[in-house]
């Protein structure tokens, strides 16, 4: 990957920047964070605008419905959309960033034709049914059963921490199809329609006061065998493809967002009085922390470029995604901890106080607490780095 921008890439940037300048003012106001139907409508409307303009799945292959952009153009897309303050993928996160790429990499041609267009256009929202009660961080300890009955599987069990389940159309779900096999075998990866009879959703309230997650219950839910991605009992291999996308590339736009956050915190510190003749910026400890965090995110952006480049060659991100996920999630928490200290007493309020952006910063700080758990805990990432990159003995 050549990190220098070519004339064509600068042309892509200019074209995108001009389109964002015309498109973003037409967006309606953002719905309340707790209004999930409203959030789905807002997120899918933005995705439709990207789709109509030819920017949906900008880095996806052309044959999968994407634009076929180069890795550098993909990074330019992330930089420019974040710079312009464009909406995040939101409810389209699972479909766009790991279910869709997994189907493209491991699904059948029929599955690609059936499901990828709806993901790219924003018509179909997906959720992830991987985690289960009692399994903890051991993803392979799942108990949800799928028993084959002719051309269908009959599913029974439950899932937890299912992101976007309230408004999803499909779920990428792991099920156990051979209970007698070793736990990493006997698993299958299924596409489960969320309106299937016998499937029910119970939202879970989070520390932010919204239902980002839900429990999903399956009572004799019937799913066609044709909805299986990969071979029966080969779901763990497909899962590794999904997790590679989730850890390797799904968070990259957030690195750009965090770099912007640090610049905003520096501006805020210069304006925050600490005494009659000093501001928060005069605190050398705070400036040193901002400097360290800036260096950390610059390093993460360099790692992002490496991961995106590697994924463009192989089609699937490598285990380097675990290095990124581990470091990004912990550094993001440090950034919002610093924001919390900068706000002082205003950090005790979930609304803006005295012109300070405390509402958004407190909300994001609470949200950041989940990042060292989501997509595999930090302990799981350290095991992967130790065993698969450093070659250390496997954990017993």
Q: Which residues are catalytic?
A: 246
Which ranges of 249-283 would DSSP assign to H, the alpha helix?
252-271
d(CA 395, CA 384): 10
d(CA 35, CA 1): 42
d(CA 111, CA 67): 19
Tokens of 211: 């239902």
Bridge partners (DSSP) listed for residue 278: 275
Beta pairing class for 126-129 and 170-176:
parallel
Please list, in sequence order, all residues whose beta carbon lies within 8 angstroms of the beta carbon of residue 142, skipping any fewer than 6 positions away.
130, 132, 135, 157, 174, 175, 176, 187
CB 265 within 8 A of CB 293: no
d(CA 36, CA 209): 12
Which ranges of 203-281 would DSSP assign to H, the alpha helix?
235-248, 252-271
Q: Render the burial of 132-141: b for 16+ CB within 10 Å, e for the rest.
A: beebeeebbe
In this structure, the chain runs to a length of: 396
Q: CA 32: distance to chain centroid?
A: 20
Count CA atoms within 13 Å of residue 371 on its CB side: 25
| Residue appearing with tokens 């959030």 | 39
d(CA 371, CA 325): 9
CB 331 within 8 A of CB 286: no
């Amino acid at each position: 990957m050549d990190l220098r921008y070519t004339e064509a890439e600068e042309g892509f940037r200019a074209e995108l920047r001009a389109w964002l300048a015309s498109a973003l003012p037409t967006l309606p106001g953002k719905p309340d964070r707790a209004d999930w139907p409203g959030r789905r409508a807002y997120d899918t409307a933005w995705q439709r605008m990207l789709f109509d303009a030819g920017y949906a799945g900008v880095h996806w292959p052309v044959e999968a419905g994407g634009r076929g952009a180069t890795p550098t153009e993909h990074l330019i897309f992330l930089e420019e959309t974040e710079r312009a303050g464009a909406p995040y993928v939101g409810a389209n996160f699972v479909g766009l960033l790991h279910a869709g790429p997994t189907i493209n990499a491991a699904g059948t041609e029929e599955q690609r034709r059936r499901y990828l267009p709806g993901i790219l256009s924003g018509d179909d929202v997906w959720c992830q049914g991987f985690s289960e009660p009692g399994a903890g961080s051991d993803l392979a300890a799942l108990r949800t059963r799928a028993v084959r009955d002719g051309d269908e599987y009959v599913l029974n069990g439950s899932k937890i921490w299912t992101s976007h389940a309230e408004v999803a159309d499909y779920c990428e779900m792991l099920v156990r199809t051979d209970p007698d096999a070793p736990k990493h075998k006997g698993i299958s990866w299924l596409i489960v329609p969320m309106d299937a009879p016998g499937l029910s959703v119970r939202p879970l309230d989070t520390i932010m006061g919204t239902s980002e997650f839900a429990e999903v219950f399956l009572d004799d839910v019937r799913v066609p065998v044709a909805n299986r991605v990969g071979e029966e009992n080969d779901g763990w291999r497909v899962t590794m493809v999904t997790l590679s996308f989730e850890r390797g590339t799904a968070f990259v736009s957030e690195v750009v967002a965090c770099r912007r956050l640090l610049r905003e915190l520096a501006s805020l510190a210069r304006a925050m009085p600490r005494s009659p003749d000093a501001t928060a910026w005069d605190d050398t400890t705070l400036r040193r922390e901002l400097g360290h965090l800036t260096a950390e995110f610059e390093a993460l952006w360099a790692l992002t470029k490496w991961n995106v480049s590697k994924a463009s060659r192989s089609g699937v991100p490598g285990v380097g995604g675990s290095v990124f996920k581990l470091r990004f999630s912990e550094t993001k928490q440090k950034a919002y901890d610093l924001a919390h200290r900068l706000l002082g007493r205003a950090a005790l309020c979930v609304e803006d106080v005295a012109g300070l952006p405390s509402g958004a910063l407190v909300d994001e700080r609470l949200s950041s607490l989940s990042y060292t758990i989501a997509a595999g805990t930090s302990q799981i990432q350290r095991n992967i780095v130790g065993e698969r990159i450093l070659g250390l003995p496997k954990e017993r």
